[in-house]
Amino acid sequence: MNVSQSAAAQPLAVDRAPTRRRARPGESRTAALVVGTLTVIGLLLRLQVARQSFFGDELATYWIITTRGLGGLISALYATHDEITPPLFFVGAWITAHISHAPVFIRAPSLVAGVLTIPAVYLLGLRTVGRRPALLAAGLCTFSPFMIYYSAEARAYALMMLLVTLSTLSLLRAIDTGRTRWWIACAVCAAGAFYTHYTSAFYLIAQFGWALWAHPELRRRALLASLGAGVLVLPWTSAVINAERSPTTKIMSALAPFNPPAILHYLEHWAVGYPYTAAAGLTQLPGVLALILLGLAVALVAGGAALRLRSQPVRAGLRRVSPRVVLIVVLLLAVVLGEAIVSALGTHVFGVRNLASAWPPFALTAGAVAMAIGSRPRAVVAVLAVGAFAIGAVRMLEGRFQRPDYQDSAAFVDSIARPGDVVIDDTRGALTPGPLTGLDVFLHARVPIFRAGVPQENQHPFGFSDPVVPLSTAIREAAAVAGRGRIIVVSAIPTGADYTRVAAERQPLPARYRLLEYRVNPGIVGTAVQVYSPTGA
């Protein structure tokens, strides 16, 4: 094979050195401009989502980082009483929370990491699958609903994706240059990924395993880098054991089904759909049009692959596959299969968000396959694929696909609440392992608050031993305290549900109360504010 062949024209060509070739005049500048544009677009999309209210496990993050100093935060995470995730993201969020407790600042580590992952994936693609596949992968990362959502979530997944990508990029730079500083960078990024989320272990093990296989001449350095990463995470070993023994791990495992239908459901939403599987089906997000475009892209790729198989034997084609393309595929399969094996043997870790570290290699694998089918159809495939994901990205901004709007509901209550009023919080905070509901974070009115559907406490995460307050009890106690004051009920309602019917199905207030006004906000879970006043008041 001619070693001067283009990596972009032959993305699967064998080459143990970097698969890049000397770019034609202006090619690198054009690619850099495209990646820069994608990064800016990715930032704008993620900023819009990052302004939404906290939801689910984010409420636990908020409680942990705003109620402790740095030492107390690390101690709590080490003991795994309140949280079983390692500390790196929480430390970052704790720092940015000192600027503001607004959602965009609490989510800042994820936001920055999610945006930087776009150029990082492109740079990794340059050294593995070639320029054109790398550009396509960067486009997919920019518009992926999965990547957008977790780049704007106050949890560790986006930071993990960036660190595993940088770890692989550093490994390849170390192999290409032989410089010790890149081996050190690889070890530090690998340790950082593990300190961000434990599921990164599947990715990292596969990465170092590939290095030992593909470059036997560098095994000593690869083993030293692996050992260095192990030494860095050694102080957290007891916390890993605590997390494995934690009741939270067992509860999460019990709540996550692991069977063929569930596995398919997880993979669909991880690849192209809305990350919260119960919030929207694939026909809603990315939507029917996007699915048609993706189907056309897959059909073109399949047709191109069939034509190539007719012109050359499969075995000959496989011999031409670069070891660095093998690396990308191995990283993808290691996460998916590794989590599946662990889930089959015991703890269920296979789920949409736990597959996060596999998304960068998934995008690069998709780019490599799409660009290997020949020069004519690959531009069409790229436009169809990126267009389909872009449709999903735009739909992410629609009200019904946003997180529940606790901020607006709380602001409305703050604007109308007066002395003598009481609030019933029926937003069902049991969606979070922490002790806060979505309303708690944003409500500032100094009025009595009665919870419904969750325990009436806010000092420790909800547990099975904490008594849940029925809505009827909350109403009775609120009415006793309110006297002639108003009762303001903030409820969670199914998105798109008829408000009148939902309100009628709720436990009614005493007959002396009449509904004055209400306000409904859309979201993956809607929120409704109902204002009741006693007759004659």
Same domain for 429 and 358?
Answer: no
What whole-number distance in Å separates Cα of residue 356 and Cα of residue 359?
6
Same domain for 247 and 272?
Answer: yes
User: For residue 189, what are its two tokens?
Assistant: 């990024």
pLDDT in tens, 97-121: 999 999 999 999 999 999 999 999 9
What whole-number distance in Å separates Cα of residue 379 and Cα of residue 385?
10
- Domain assignment present for residue 186? The answer is yes
- CB atoms under 10 Å from CB of 373, counted, come to 19
Over residues 141-169, mean pLDDT: 98
Where a domain ends, among 399, 414, 442?
A: 399
- Domain assignment present for residue 15? The answer is no
Residue at token pair 């580590």: 109
Task: Tell me which residue range forms the domain holding 498.
Answer: 406-534
Same domain for 347 and 444?
Answer: no
Residue % of the chain over a pLDDT of 90: 71
- Domain assignment present for residue 486? The answer is yes
- Domain assignment present for residue 12? The answer is no
Torsion of CA 339, 340, 342, 346, to 10 degrees: 130
Longest dimension (CA), the chain: 91
- Domain assignment present for residue 6? The answer is no
Same domain for 146 and 259?
Answer: yes
Contacts of 362 (CB under 8 A, 6+ apart): 271, 332
* Total tally of structural domains belonging to the chain: 2
- CB atoms under 10 Å from CB of 234, counted, come to 10
What pLDDT score does 343 carry? Answer: 95
pTM of the model: 0.92
Where a domain ends, among 399, 428, 460?
A: 399
Residue 106 CA from chain centroid, whole number: 15
Same domain for 466 and 357?
Answer: no
**Residue of 130, 195, 146, 169 whose CA lies nearest to 367:** 130
Task: Give the pLDDT band (50/70/90) at residue 420.
Answer: very high
**Residue of 34, 53, 16 whose CA lies nearest to 443:** 53
Q: Taking a C-beta distance cutoff of 8 angstroms, is the pair 453, 490 a contact?
A: no
Same domain for 348 and 368?
Answer: yes
Q: What is the DSSP string of 254-320?
A: HHS--SHHHHHHHHHHHHTS-SSTTT--TIIIIIHHHHHHHHHHHHHHHHHHHHHHHHS-HHHHHHT
What whole-number distance in Å separates Cα of residue 58 and Cα of residue 77?
15
- Domain assignment present for residue 77? The answer is yes
Same domain for 457 and 341?
Answer: no
Task: Give the pLDDT band (50/70/90) at residue 306.
Answer: confident
**Residue of 195, 120, 108 whose CA lies nearest to 160:** 195
Cis peptide before 286 (omega within 30 of 0): yes
Task: Give the pLDDT band (50/70/90) at residue 223.
Answer: very high
Whole-number Cα distances in Å, 366 to 29, 255, 322, 394? 24, 31, 16, 21
DSSP at 72: H
- Domain assignment present for residue 304? The answer is yes
Residue 188 has pLDDT above 70, yes or no: yes
Where a domain ends, among 399, 422, 446?
A: 399
pLDDT in tens, 28-59: 899 999 999 999 999 999 999 999 999 999 99
User: For residue 518, what are its two tokens?
Assistant: 């209400």
Same domain for 299 and 389?
Answer: yes
| β-pairing verdict for 525-534 and 422-426 | unpaired
Q: Taking a C-beta distance cutoff of 8 angstroms, is the pair 422, 481 a contact?
A: yes
Task: Give the pLDDT band (50/70/90) at residue 252.
Answer: confident
**Residue of 471, 431, 498, 468 whose CA lies nearest to 58:** 431
Same domain for 435 and 323?
Answer: no
Same domain for 210 and 260?
Answer: yes
Q: Taking a C-beta distance cutoff of 8 angstroms, is the pair 458, 493 a contact?
A: no
What whole-number distance in Å separates Cα of residue 537 and Cα of residue 533?
7
Same domain for 83 and 104?
Answer: yes
**Residue of 52, 49, 53, 56 whose CA lies nearest to 436:** 56
Q: Taking a C-beta distance cutoff of 8 angstroms, is the pair 331, 343 a contact?
A: no
Same domain for 250 and 281?
Answer: yes
- Domain assignment present for residue 473? The answer is yes
List the beta bridge partners of residue 526: 493
